[in-house]
Every structure is written in structure tokens, then in C-alpha cells.
């Protein structure tokens, strides 16, 4: 029997589906049991911080996957991960588990980020159980839905010009999610433990990923680098540019100060997996990406439109606009609504903030804000960009 933790997470969910396609008997430990997915999968409610539920879950288990972390939960994630790993290791030893398979993070040197140091500490704790541990250390994982890929996609999709911190040029060795899953699956057949560094065939930075994604999308993006690498600044930058991923993304980005490239290629000789390159990984991720549904629908969408119309008409009244001079304001309200409906208030807040300034400030000072707004709207919706440009004419109508 195989025990899988993290089966509702990104990597664990992919691995779960791969095992189900092969009809492999599997037990998945989750906090809340989801809808049953396959007859070969047994869902067990429990928590890695609950010793009793761990022992129940490990009954009769030969191979246990440890694919969880606490970065998304409130509080100090390293302490929580340390506690969870110790409990898991103890339960595995007591239950007679024959091997533990763990996915950690690449990175070397003394100045590891808290995220990478925690990932590697978890591996050490698991190995102290005396149960053979196969630990994979991976760099950036590329795939539709992976945090790193979604940050890249979000930034490139939204911003024609990016002011980028220094971390975007740090060298990494990205690996496709399907290759990671293949390594994890094959590890279940390995008898001996070990630490294996895994990566794709290319060594590139986050900037390289952004450029490749933009190339495949058929657009050009200008990256302007600033020579600053502050965790606080990087976190603020991410909250501003990609707020949906900011909470976990900040911890991830702090780790990008460390190069994450494969130094020991032993995995290539031990496993049959032949990883792909960055271009193929991104191409596959884009093919898998589901069509984006509007963030706002129904009453929420209608409320947003009315609020934006009220904002723009209020500005028009303040500037004593009447007759034809009201048209640019109404047009701008519809433009902003198209963006809010698409992305939601949180994701669109940078564009909306500059839009509010463009509406509130009159000619000629407001013209630069209108042009910046149009550029931010253009990468999301050409119609929205066109509808906001009449604000440039409001003083002449």
C-alpha cells in the first residue's frame, strides 16, 4: 500500500492522478475527504500533526510520500514543518514503513533562505527516522497551476514593462511538472534511499522564463532591472504586481537569492526520466492552461459597473463636464469594468489605482496617467484600452 500526503496540493494532486491512471492502490491522507476520484484510492481524514491519525493512515503502508509544506498557513511555517516532519518520521518508523519519498528544494551554501533551509531540514528530519528516504531536490517547477509558473504568467500577461528586482536574474534549472511526477512515481520502485537533485535540460533565470513565455505568447515585454534585493521590497513588489500569489510567493522569492542548479547529476543515471527543456515545459503548460473565466459575474459584475460609473460621473461633475464631455468618463467606466470583471478587484488593483488617478486628474497632468492606464489595460483587453483613451480628449470636447 502507498500512502500519499499532499494529495490535494499541486504536486500531490498530479501524482495522485498518475497513480489512478495506472490503477495503483493508494491511500491519501487529507484533512477533509474530497469526492472519491477512483476505486483504487482510499481517502483517509487526518492530519500530520495528529499522531493517532498518522498511525491509522500508515497501517499496512510500505511506501509513504511526504509532499506537504506549511508556507500557505498563518504563523511560522518552518516551525510547523519541523514539527510535522518529526511526527511523520516517528509514525513511519513505528509502523514499519519501508521507504519515504520526499520532494524538497535545490540550493546550496550557508546563506540559504528560510524557505530552502526549511525544505532541506525536513529532509534531514525524515532521514533521522532510520527509514530509507528518497529525497528529490527540485528547482522551479513549471506547469499550469504551479506557483512559479503562475507568477511568471501573471506578470507577463499584465505588464508591458516590468521593474524587476535583482532576484529575477539568479540562475535556476526549471523542471516540468510531468517530469517531477515521473521521478516520484519511479522512486516507489527504488530500494535504497538517497538525495537526488533534479532539473530540466536548461539553466535559466526567472527573467529567462518570462522572456520565453512572452515569446511563445507572441508579445514583447521590457524588463528594467533595479540592483536591489530586499525581501521586504520583493514582497511589496509581488503584492502589487501579482497579489493572488503574494503570500506564498514571498517565501518562494526569498529563496531565489540562491542559485538552484543541479550540481550532482546522479539522478540521470539512477532514474529513467529524461527531463525536457524550458521551452517545451512552458509550451505544455500553456496548452494545459484552462480558459480563464471572468472573476466577477452576475450581481457582483453589475455592482462593479455601477460603482465605476458613479466614480467616473462624480469626477466628471467635479470637473463641471456636461453634454458630450461626459462621454469619455462613461467610456472609461466601461473600460475599467471590463478589467475588473476579468481579473477581480485584487488582481486589478494596480491598474485601477492608476485609472482612478487618470480620471480624477484633469488635463494636461492626467494625460500620462491615461496613457499608463491604457497600456496596463491593453495587455488584458484591447477594447478596454481603446475605451479609456477618450479621456485624453475630454478637455477639447
pLDDT in tens, 34-78: 666 788 888 888 888 888 888 888 899 999 999 987 654 555 778
How confident is the model at residue 190, as a pLDDT?
80
How large a percentage of the chain has pLDDT more than 90?
Answer: 47
Domain that holds residue 371: 298-393
Higher-pLDDT residue of 263 and 158 is: 263
pLDDT at 124: 94
Residues 309 and 276 reside in one and the same domain: no
Lowest mean pLDDT among 222-231, 264-273, 341-350: 222-231
**Residue 121 resides in a domain:** yes
Q: Which of 288, 320, 350 is the last residue of a domain?
A: 288
pLDDT at 155: 80
Residue 263 is predicted with a pLDDT of 92
Asked if the model's pLDDT at residue 152 lies above 90, the reply is no
What pLDDT does residue 197 have?
Answer: 96
Q: Which of 255, 288, 321 marks a domain boundary? A: 288
Classify residue 96 as left (phi > 0), alpha (psi -120 to 50) or beta: left
- Residue appearing with cell numbers 456636461: 322
Burial of residue 103 (number of CB atoms within 10 Å: 0-12, 13-18, 19+): buried
What is the pTM (predicted TM-score) of this model?
0.80
Do 356 and 215 lie in one domain? The reply is no
Is there a contact between 133 and 88 (Cβ–Cβ < 8 Å)? no
> Around Cβ 293, how many Cβ atoms within 10 Å?
7
C-alpha cell at 10: 499541486
Percent of the chain with pLDDT over 70: 87
Q: Looking at the domain assignment, is residue 293 inside a domain? A: no
Separation between Cα atoms, residue 190 and residue 196, nearest integer Å: 12
- Report whether pLDDT(180) > 90: yes
Instruction: Give yes or no: residues 125 and 147 share one domain.
Output: yes
What mean pLDDT comes out for the span 316-332?
89
pLDDT at 117: 86
Instruction: Identify the bridge partners of residue 41 per DSSP, sorted by sequence position.
Output: 26
What three-state secondary structure class fits 198?
A: strand
Into how many domains does the chain fold?
Answer: 2
The conformational region for residue 372 under phi > 0 = left, psi -120 to 50 = alpha, else beta, is alpha
> Which pLDDT score is estimated for 237?
61
Asked if residue 260 and residue 333 are part of one domain, the reply reads no
Cell of 182: 515521473
Res 289 pLDDT > 90: no
C-alpha to C-alpha distance for 360 and 366, rounded to whole angstroms: 8
CA distances to 106, 140, 216 from 171, in Å: 12, 10, 21
Domain of 278, CATH number, reads 3.40.50.720
Mean pLDDT confidence for 280-306 = 91
Mean of the per-residue pLDDT values of the chain: 86
Count, residues in the chain: 397
The answer to whether residues 315 and 360 touch, using CB atoms and an 8 Å cutoff, is yes
Q: Are 66 and 88 in contact (CB under 8 A)?
A: yes
**According to the model, what pLDDT value does residue 239 have?**
62
In a domain, 23, yes or no: yes
How confident is the model over 110-132, as a mean pLDDT? Answer: 86
Does residue 99 contact residue 62 with C-beta atoms inside 8 Å? Answer: yes
How much is the average pLDDT of 377-381? Answer: 85
384-388 average pLDDT score: 94
CA 335 – CA 355 distance, rounded (Å): 10
* Region 244-263 average pLDDT: 66
Residue 255 confidence (pLDDT) above 60: no
Residues 316 and 385 in one domain: yes
Average pLDDT of the segment spanning 143-164: 83
For residues 312-324, average pLDDT: 88
C-alpha to C-alpha distance for 122 and 112, rounded to whole angstroms: 14
Amino acid at each position: 500500500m502507498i500512502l500519499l500526503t499532499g494529495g490535494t496540493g499541486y504536486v500531490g494532486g498530479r501524482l495522485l492522478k498518475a497513480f489512478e491512471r495506472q490503477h495503483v492502490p493508494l491511500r491519501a491522507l487529507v484533512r477533509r475527504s474530497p469526492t472519491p476520484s477512483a476505486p483504487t484510492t482510499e481517502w483517509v481524514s487526518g492530519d500530520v500533526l495528529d499522531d493517532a491519525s498518522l498511525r491509522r493512515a500508515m497501517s499496512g503502508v510500505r511506501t509513504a510520500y511526504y509532499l506537504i509544506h506549511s508556507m500557505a498557513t498563518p504563523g511560522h511555517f518552518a516551525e510547523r514543518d519541523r514539527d510535522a516532519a518529526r511526527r511523520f518520521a516517528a509514525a513511519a518508523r513505528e509502523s514499519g514503513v519501508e521507504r519515504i519519498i520526499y520532494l524538497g528544494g535545490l540550493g546550496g551554501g550557508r546563506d540559504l533562505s528560510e524557505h530552502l533551509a526549511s525544505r532541506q531540514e525536513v529532509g534531514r528530519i525524515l532521514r533521522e527516522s532510520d527509514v530509507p528516504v528518497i529525497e528529490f531536490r527540485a528547482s522551479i517547477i513549471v506547469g499550469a497551476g504551479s506557483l512559479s509558473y503562475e507568477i511568471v504568467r501573471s506578470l507577463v500577461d499584465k505588464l508591458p514593462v516590468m521593474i524587476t528586482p535583482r532576484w529575477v536574474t539568479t540562475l535556476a534549472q526549471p523542471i516540468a511538472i510531468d517530469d517531477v511526477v515521473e521521478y516520484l512515481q519511479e522512486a516507489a520502485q527504488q530500494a535504497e534511499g538517497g538525495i537526488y537533485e533534479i532539473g530540466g535540460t536548461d539553466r535559466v533565470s526567472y527573467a529567462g522564463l518570462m522572456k520565453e513565455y512572452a515569446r511563445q505568447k507572441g508579445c514583447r515585454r521590457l524588463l528594467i532591472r533595479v540592483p536591489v534585493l530586499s525581501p521586504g521590497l520583493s514582497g511589496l513588489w509581488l503584492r502589487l504586481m501579482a497579489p493572488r500569489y503574494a503570500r506564498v510567493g514571498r517565501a518562494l522569492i526569498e529563496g531565489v537569492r540562491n542559485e538552484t542548479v543541479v550540481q550532482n547529476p546522479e539522478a540521470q543515471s539512477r532514474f529513467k526520466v529524461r527531463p525536457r527543456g524550458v521551452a517545451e515545459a512552458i509550451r505544455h503548460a500553456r496548452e494545459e492552461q484552462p480558459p480563464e473565466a471572468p472573476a466577477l459575474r452576475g450581481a457582483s459584475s453589475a455592482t462593479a459597473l455601477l460603482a465605476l460609473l458613479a466614480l467616473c460621473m462624480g469626477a466628471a461633475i467635479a470637473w463641471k463636464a456636461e453634454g458630450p464631455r461626459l462621454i469619455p468618463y462613461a467610456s472609461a467606466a466601461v473600460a475599467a469594468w471590463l478589467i475588473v470583471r476579468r481579473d477581480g478587484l485584487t488582481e486589478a488593483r494596480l491598474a485601477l489605482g492608476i485609472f482612478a488617478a487618470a480620471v480624477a486628474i484633469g488635463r494636461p497632468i492626467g494625460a500620462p496617467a491615461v496613457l499608463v492606464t491604457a497600456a496596463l489595460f491593453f495587455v488584458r483587453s484591447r477594447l478596454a484600452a481603446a475605451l479609456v483613451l477618450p479621456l485624453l480628449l475630454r478637455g477639447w470636447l
